[in-house]
Amino acid sequence: MHITEPKIIAYMKAIAESAQPGNDRAILREMEEYAREHDFPIVGPLVGRLLRQLALAVNAGSIFEMGSGFGYSAIWFAGGLAPGGRIICTDGSQANRSRAMAYFGSSGCADRIDFQVGDAREIIKKFEGPFDIIFNDIDKEQYPEAFALAVPRLRKGGLFITDNVLWSGRILDNDKSPSTRGVVEFNRLLFEANDLLSSIIPIRDGLGLAIKL
């Protein structure tokens, strides 16, 4: 299922690409090409641009990523970090960390990133927070647990951002797979929480955006 009309997506990508920040353009294109060649899921440039805007909007000095892959979203976030800010990245693959650190070095943001290898759910437990932004993009069946771990570690006025909350439309299909059930339950938790004001932005695969009250 197309979440957004493909012609609209193409238009948005075209105008965003024409205005993509010069310092990041080459490295982001390289990462996007790697993702295409290896069928590696990334948030893509439209979501990436929004992540940077959101970091700038809340003057983010502390960001925790639950699931960082090879660093694509972190580079977008890094461009919106407040001076002296820091991003904690997590991924279960040492190879992804090594690739990410090479990209961070090329983009000039490596000194602002702490990339830890392991289960994001265990790593976040080592930090009390509060974080300005927590980004959630781990395995979908783990989303409800990610919710329980992330929200208490977010500051008031901070943002909880989650990828894939429309899950290619499978949320509508009575799909009983663990991943789909995880997304459906996560969305219920997100919108029923009294301490969050939540929305879904229907770009790419659906971006959940919640502010802590």
pLDDT tens profile 50-63: 999 999 999 999 99
What residue ranges do the domains of the chain occupy?
Answer: 6-212
- Return the pLDDT at 4: 86
Evaluate if residue 212 carries a pLDDT over 70. Answer: yes
For tokens 């920040």, the residue is 21
Provide the whole-model pTM: 0.95
Measured CA to CA, the distance from residue 172 to residue 184 in angstroms comes to: 9
Work out the average pLDDT over 150-166: 98
Maximal C-alpha separation, the chain: 46
CA distances (Å), origin 168, targets 82, 171, 203: 34, 8, 11
For 126-150, how does the pLDDT look when each residue is reduced to its tens digit (9 = 90+)? Answer: 999 999 999 999 999 999 999 999 9
Name the β-bridge partners of 28. none
Tokens coding 147? 């919710």
Intra-chain end-to-end CA distance of the chain, in Å = 33
For tokens 């992540």, the residue is 51
Are 146 and 189 within 8 A, CB to CB?
no
Question: What is residue 161's DSSP assignment?
Answer: E
- Return the pLDDT at 134: 99
For 92-116, how does the pLDDT look when each residue is reduced to its tens digit (9 = 90+)? Answer: 999 999 999 999 999 999 999 999 9
If pLDDT is split at 50, 70 and 90, which confidence band does 8 have?
Answer: very high
If pLDDT is split at 50, 70 and 90, which confidence band does 123 have?
Answer: very high
> Domain 6-212: which CATH class?
alpha beta
Half-sphere exposure of 170 (CA within 13 A, CB side): 17
